[in-house]
Amino acid sequence: MLELQEKRIVVTGGAGFLGRQVIDQLVKAGAQADKITVPRSSDCDLRDFSNCQKVSAQQDIIIHLGAHVGGIGLNREKPAELFYDNLMMGTQLIHAAYQAGVEKFVCVGTICAYPKFTPVPFREDDLWNGYPEETNAPYGIAKKALLVQLEAYRQQYEFNGIYLLPVNLYGPEDNFNPESSHVIPALIHKVHQAQKKGEKTLPVWGDGSPTREFLYSTDAARGIVMATQHYDEPDPVNLGTNEEVVIKDLVELICELMDFQGEIVWETDKPNGQPRRCLDTQRAKERFGFTAATAFKQGLKNTIDWYRENAD
């Protein structure tokens, strides 16, 4: 087990939604808060290699959560930026960390890396059996390239880098900006706005048929820290719940929890995204003992409660 007490740890994206939870879990696992560094994109652009070198200098562990990321809308609007930014940040940071002698690199990838038509539940061994869903592909492939880099650096330099694949995350403090948010926060925001305006209909993209899997942010953070401490192998590892949720059911549940009485209108001219998503979570359980703990309905309720308190 990797003891965290004296370790100097960098958490890229540490000021973000997942990052704050990861820092909290690191401290619970014994890390010292004053030894955790959080580079901010405003003054430390990781697309610049010299910044990656500064961030990596004299550090023991790097947990790379930093990403340029959003929902279907952003993926369609800015595919080039999503590809370039994520590839450059990740690949340069891994190289700088190797050069600086960092003891362990934890790379958090994306479920978007999986092929569009992957047998459900998604097994890590199927990661390369096809091309990702088109709207996600630039982001997903940029992130997946980092897995190849870590495997190559392990083979040639014995660099200890691990790669985790969390499913869609949700929870309090998520990004609720409708321009760039993922499905759960986008829907919560949409229902709240409809209620504020007294609207009787709720337009939702797609036809409601796709499925998704959702992992509560606290569970995801706990899984990342468990892997940091207990996992040192090259194989990628899924982090999820192994529970498949139909989007139609998700929308109805959010409406029920928020007491929205209006009609849901499916915008079938808008994209559905990937048809199905659900992870095989056996590897995480076997390799480092991780299983999700938060029931989906309770997690949604916590998220809605937080949003309502902070909506303005």
Catalytic residue list = 139
Find out whether 206 is annotated in a ligand binding site.
no
Find out whether 71 is annotated in a ligand binding site.
no
Q: How many CA atoms lie within 13 A of 229 on its CB side?
A: 20
Find out whether 54 is annotated in a ligand binding site.
no
Q: For 115-256, where are the E strands, in sequence order?
A: 161-166, 168-170, 201-205, 211-212, 214-216, 237-239, 245-246
Q: For 248-294, where are the E strands, in sequence order?
A: 263-267
Find out whether 28 is annotated in a ligand binding site.
no
Find out whether 182 is annotated in a ligand binding site.
yes
Find out whether 101 is annotated in a ligand binding site.
no
Find out whether 212 is annotated in a ligand binding site.
yes
Find out whether 104 is annotated in a ligand binding site.
no
- Judge contact between 277 and 238, C-beta under 8 A: no
Query: Could you give the CA distance from residue 60 to residue 229 in angstroms, rounded to a whole number?
Result: 12
Query: Could you give the CA distance from residue 21 to residue 181 in angstroms, rounded to a whole number?
Result: 18
Query: Could you give the CA distance from residue 306 to residue 295 in angstroms, rounded to a whole number?
Result: 17
- Judge contact between 231 and 237, C-beta under 8 A: yes
Find out whether 168 is annotated in a ligand binding site.
yes
- Judge contact between 17 and 69, C-beta under 8 A: no
Find out whether 191 is annotated in a ligand binding site.
no
Q: Which helix (H) or strand (E) holds 109?
A: none
Cβ-proximal residues to 43 (8 Å cutoff; 6+ apart), any chain: none
Find out whether 293 is annotated in a ligand binding site.
no
Find out whether 17 is annotated in a ligand binding site.
yes
- Annotation: binding site: 13-19, 143, 166-169, 182, 190, 205, 212
Which residue ranges make up the annotated binding site for substrate? 190, 205, 212
Name the binding residues for NADP(+): 13-19, 143, 166-169, 182
